[in-house]
Amino acid sequence: MTRSTPATRTVVVTGAASGIGLALVERLLDREPGTRVIAIDIARCPDDRAHPLLTDLSDLEAVAALDLPDHIDALANVAGVPGTAPAETVLAVNTLGLRALTFRALERMSAGGAVVNVASIAAHRNTLAHDDIAGLLAVRDREELRAWLSRVQIDGPAAYDTSKRAVVDWTVALSASLQPRGIRALSVSPGPTDTPILSDFEQSMGAEAIARSASMVGRHGTAAESASVIDFLLGPDAAWVNGIDVPVEGGLTALRAAAIPLPLSRPRTRVDIAE
């Protein structure tokens, strides 16, 4: 199996204009100046070393028209819309556009390639049933998305949670389907992260809830911390890591679980009573 050397890789990064996406672009180019980074976003990537492609990922026609390179070594789907946006917009970007771009990139990817999708620990907040998630992942265009939304009736914040659950589940299925091609697929689930849209999450999820998360682990995460995990998973050093979701949240999930009262008392038996 052959693989492009790090100095000649072509990596596509969505959401490259700010936050985790921009941190990933900068990390890639700082360490591998020869890497060709295709920076996809609705706004221009501030890092002039990247090759910008401006597009709205909620527009499937625009995604189909993207002038992608002939060969792609890795794809990082970082772009995401928070729950302050309408539910249709959230799902159009976070699930429909993500999948459309991924399929386009996979047409140009060979063995040794990798796809990393950014989900969120908010996926655990999803309340929809598995069949509803499967229905969302079967949606092919905006018309079908509207029909799906008319059935499930969720608002923007709930749509965000559901979109991230869908991303995690879809990534697992994608990994299995790509196994014969030697292409890996993984997801990364950040916790609350200090990015330009943190205030949107405070609005959609509640400022107190976001602050409580920070107080449990000591602070919010940084974009660079999530970017470093994505960078590793995209590269050859992670060649034997596949089909999983990697939480990047400072141990928040473990701390929440540990806060649940445990059954510490031992049930007494007749022998105990006799003693």
Query: What amino acid positions are annotated as catalytic residues?
Result: 160
Segment holding 222, helix H or strand E? strand 221-222
Chain CA centroid to CA 186, Å: 9
Point out which residues pair with 38 in neighbouring strands: 12, 51
Tokens found for residue 266: 């031992």
DSSP H helix total and E strand total for the chain: 12, 9
What are the Cα distances from residue 143, in Å, to 50, 147, 225, 248? 34, 6, 37, 34
Per DSSP, 97 falls in state I
Tokens found for residue 167: 């991303």
Q: What share of the chain is helix, strand, coil (3-state, %, to 5)?
A: 50, 15, 35
Q: Are 68 and 141 in contact (CB under 8 A)?
A: no
Q: Are 178 and 106 in contact (CB under 8 A)?
A: yes
Q: Cα–Cα distance between 195 and 203 in angstroms, integer? A: 14
What are the Cα distances from residue 134, in Å, to 91, 128, 131, 165, 168? 14, 10, 5, 11, 12
Q: In a 10 Å sphere around its CB, with 0-12 CB exposed, 13-18 middle and 19+ buried, how is residue 275 labelled?
A: exposed
